[in-house]
């Protein structure tokens, strides 16, 4: 074959090269660190279309010659290192976790008005947790109050000296005794007990009795 | 020897080198595997914990592979202080009943089930690869989904996760040679992709996520035991 004809065949590998360049996996065009920044998930076409309407083409009606999958990728809102690892892990699963807290709480104390508080180091994250729990309760049709029962400074000092698993039942008795939680009201507490865990616990305080529900 | 014959021999040699196994496997963590953790695998994390691990074979995962997964998980948690038993069977006969001493350790049950989906390089991809003497790679990939469930002794679900990951296989001397050159010149050790780095990266992610999940489950089990007479049976976390 005359040498100049070889140049006509140069574009032949282009589709392959473009596919490799477009692949979010680490390789020639992307480092491992860059690949890990993306949160990707392999889904069915129907689920991908539901999550990203208008962006995923329908499969051909007669099927395709090639076996295809849909991978949805998104860049997280916060870059790696901007938040603490534990905070990031807790907030990443907040949608699912808050639904679980609300489900367990509603089953433990149906028909009450809920007060919510989050016991987590870091006020910003604690606020997010409490808000998510309130929204989840409302979505389940529960009545929610914005008021958070508080304790006197002396009570807090005593409770701070106790083991966490003993402190919450005591706090619950004090809230009820002080009138912070009258009859027909309950408190959902979202609690971090150990700094090494990333799944929070949920407890319900009702009529002076504390019960762990998750 | 004429020029065209030399070119032909070079192409055959390159093809032979390519067909002899110049493959680069790259690992991409998908759902859940690159999530930050607050606890790293280390000695003493799970002292006083008994763990029964069931690794279930599936259509795409043979029993031998399930046993290999179980051996890895047993080593992971035994090194961290747990008493571990493994099985690849379901049902009451999977584990022998153990005698209860005066202070039995907290017991958790871990179920692992994986499914894989492999997509081979299309025919035209192989054609281009062979046509270019494997300078352009043929690309295959395998996506796996790992379901993990942790329960307490009574069967109450304490934790559930589904992780996804992907291994992309590039067959060809051109791609592998380029990656090897980059690994040995400009890349740091953490960024290397050739040899068995894909397997090491996946193992590290899997071990970290599994350790965190079991720790979370253990804390939940210990907290729920504090309720008297027993935990509220509301079905546990939604998987």
ipTM, 2 decimals?
Answer: 0.86
pLDDT digits (tens, 9 = 90+) for A161-204: 888 888 999 999 999 888 888 889 999 999 999 999 999 999 99
SS3 helix, strand, coil % of chain A, rounded to 5?
40, 15, 40
CB contact under 8 A, A36 and B29: yes
Q: Quick check: B191 pLDDT over 50?
A: yes
- For chain B, give the number of residues: 239
Contacts of A33 in chain B (CB under 8 A): 191
A92 — contact with chain B (CB < 8 Å)?
yes
Min distance A26 CA to chain B CA atoms (Å): 7
Give B155: exposed, middle or buried? Use CB within 10 Å, 0-12, 13-18, 19+.
exposed
Contact between B22 and B176 under an 8 Å Cβ cutoff? The reply is yes
What's the pLDDT at B38? Answer: 93
**Predicted confidence band of residue B15 (pLDDT cuts 50, 70, 90):** low
CA separation for the pair B196, B113 (Å, rounded):
24
Nearest alpha carbon to residue B202 among B156, B149, B142, B154: B142
pLDDT digits (tens, 9 = 90+) for A28-38: 888 888 888 88
Which helix (H) or strand (E) covers residue B215, if one does? helix B197-224
For chain B, give the mean pLDDT: 84
What's the pLDDT at B238? Answer: 37
Nearest alpha carbon to residue B159 among B172, B145, B148: B148
Which helix (H) or strand (E) covers residue B233, if one does? none
Of A32, A107, A199, the CB nearest to B232: A107
DSSP secondary structure code for residue B143 in this structure: E
CB contact under 8 A, B193 and A69: no
pTM, to two decimals: 0.85
What's the pLDDT at B203? Answer: 94
Coil, helix or strand at residue B114: strand
Q: Which of residues 183-202 of A touch B (CB under 8 A)?
A: 193-199, 201
- The more confident residue out of A103 and A3 is A103
A67 — contact with chain B (CB < 8 Å)?
yes
CB contact under 8 A, A199 and B29: no
What's the pLDDT at B101? Answer: 66
CA separation for the pair A41, A168 (Å, rounded):
39
φ, ψ at A73 (rounded to 5°): -125, 145
Q: Quick check: B16 pLDDT over 70?
A: no
Of A41, A65, A211, the CB nearest to B30: A41
Nearest alpha carbon to residue B159 among A94, A193, A129, A199: A199
Contact between B111 and B161 under an 8 Å Cβ cutoff? The reply is no
Q: What is the CA radius of gyration of chain A?
A: 26
DSSP secondary structure code for residue B234 in this structure: S
pLDDT digits (tens, 9 = 90+) for B197-206: 999 999 999 9
Question: Which alpha helices (DSSP H) does A66-179 contain, by range?
Answer: 85-92, 94-108, 123-139, 153-160, 164-177
Of B137, B190, B224, the CB nearest to A212: B224
pLDDT digits (tens, 9 = 90+) for B98-148: 656 667 788 999 999 988 888 888 888 888 888 788 888 888 999 999 999
Q: Which residue of A has its CA nearest to B163?
A: A41
pLDDT digits (tens, 9 = 90+) for A109-127: 999 999 999 999 999 999 9
Residues 6 or more apart from B56 whose CB is under 8 A from it? B66, B88, B90, B111, B112, B113
- The more confident residue out of A144 and B132 is A144
Residue with tokens 């979370």: B216
pLDDT digits (tens, 9 = 90+) for B43-77: 899 999 999 999 987 766 678 888 889 999 999 99
CA separation for the pair A73, B28 (Å, rounded):
12
**Predicted confidence band of residue B235 (pLDDT cuts 50, 70, 90):** very low
The full DSSP string for A124-139 is HHHHHHHHHHHHHHHH
Residues 6 or more apart from A80 whose CB is under 8 A from it? A36, A37
Listed range (A10-14, A128-132, A136-140) with the worst mean pLDDT: A10-14
Which helix (H) or strand (E) covers residue B216, if one does? helix B197-224
């Amino acid at each position: 074959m005359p040498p100049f004809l070889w140049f006509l065949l140069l574009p032949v590998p282009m589709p392959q090269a473009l596919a490799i360049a477009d692949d979010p996996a680490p390789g020639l065009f992307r480092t491992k660190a860059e690949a890990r920044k993306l949160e990707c998930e392999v889904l069915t076409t129907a689920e991908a279309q539901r999550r990203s309407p208008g962006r995923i083409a329908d499969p051909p009606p007669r099927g395709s010659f090639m076996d295809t999958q849909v991978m949805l990728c998104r860049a997280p809102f916060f870059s790696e290192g901007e938040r603490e690892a534990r905070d990031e892990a807790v907030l990443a699963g907040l949608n699912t976790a808050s639904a679980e807290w609300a489900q367990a709480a509603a089953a433990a104390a149906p028909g009450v008005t809920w007060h919510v508080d989050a016991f987590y180091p870091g006020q910003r994250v604690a606020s997010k947790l409490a808000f998510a729990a309130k929204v989840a309760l409302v979505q389940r049709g529960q009545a929610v109050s914005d008021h958070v029962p508080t304790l006197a400074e002396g009570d807090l000092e005593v409770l701070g000296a106790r083991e966490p698993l003993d402190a919450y039942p005591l706090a619950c008795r004090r809230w009820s005794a002080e009138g912070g939680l009258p009859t027909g009201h309950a408190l959902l507490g979202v609690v971090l007990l150990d700094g090494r865990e990333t799944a929070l616990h949920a407890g319900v305080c009702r009529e002076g009795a504390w019960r762990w529900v998750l | 020897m004429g020029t065209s014959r030399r070119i032909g021999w070079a192409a055959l040699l390159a093809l032979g080198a390519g067909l002899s196994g110049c493959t680069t496997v790259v690992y991409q963590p998908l759902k859940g595997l690159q999530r930050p953790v607050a606890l790293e695998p280390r000695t003493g994390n799970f002292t006083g914990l008994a763990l029964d691990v069931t690794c279930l074979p599936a259509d795409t995962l043979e029993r031998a592979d399930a046993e290999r997964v179980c051996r890895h998980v047993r080593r992971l948690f035994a090194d961290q202080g747990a008493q571990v038993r493994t099985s690849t069977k379901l049902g009451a006969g999977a584990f022998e009943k153990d005698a209860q001493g005066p202070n039995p350790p907290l017991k958790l049950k871990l179920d692992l089930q994986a499914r894989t989906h492999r997509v081979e390089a299309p025919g035209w991809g192989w054609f281009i690869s062979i046509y270019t003497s494997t300078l352009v790679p043929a690309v295959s990939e395998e996506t796996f989904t790992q379901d993990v469930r942790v329960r307490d002794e009574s069967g109450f679900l304490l934790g559930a996760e589904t992780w996804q990951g992907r291994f992309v296989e590039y067959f060809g001397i051109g791609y592998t040679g380029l990656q090897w050159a980059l690994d040995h010149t400009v890349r740091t050790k953490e960024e290397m992709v050739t040899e068995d780095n894909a397997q090491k990266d996946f193992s590290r992610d899997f071990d970290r996520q599994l350790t965190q999940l079991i720790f979370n489950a253990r804390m939940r089990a210990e907290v729920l035991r504090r309720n008297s007479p027993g935990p509220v049976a509301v079905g546990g976390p939604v998987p």
